[in-house]
Amino acid sequence: MTRLILASNSPRRLDVLHQLGLNPVVQSPAVDEIYMPGESPAAHVERLARAKAEVVAETEPDALVIGGDTVVVSENRLLGKPEDEGAAVEMLLSLAGREHQVLTGLAISGHDGTVSAVSSTEVRFRNFTEAEARRYVMGGEPMDKAGAYAIQGLGAALVAGIVGDYYTVVGFPVGTFLDLLSRFGWRYEFGSLSQTN
């Protein structure tokens, strides 16, 4: 079996891979996550996912390297990770009672090159108060998450509903991952990977 590497320090992405029965090595590359002028949110997350995977693949030519990046988009505003607790509360209140979009870019890189794609899901938040937002933020969960919430954690209590792939919101769209594997000549076999060619 080829070595599998997750080029991300996201515990959520690692959790999903473990859920699939896969045990990648984690190597988090240093990639500048600035936005390019005129770059769309989808182009941004795909570029960063590819960059993370390719940086690690350069030093690991015999591995399959997975990169990912997630952003939240609300009314044409990109919401990344909050800088501090005040920013997290402000972000959450800007999303309360409204719909927003979560975009996750995923890439797989190896000696045959890189394949990548973007998955998008619509999320609607319920109405909640500033006091509720502050209580959630005080627990610390939102601080390293795009949009300042974790749908798979306590942040589930903020969500009224979603249209699309739940795992896109978590940060690792499983269906997109399986499609990329197939394009790369691999297949998932419920707990393991095998080459198709």
Active site amino acids: 69
Bridge partners of 67, per DSSP, are 107
Token pair for 170: 């978590």
Taking the C-alpha atoms of residue 120 and residue 193, their distance in angstroms, rounded to an integer, is: 25
Paired with 106 in beta bridges are 68, 117
Nearest to 154 by CA among 145, 162, 163: 145
Under a CB-based contact definition with an 8 Å cutoff, are residues 187 and 194 in contact? yes
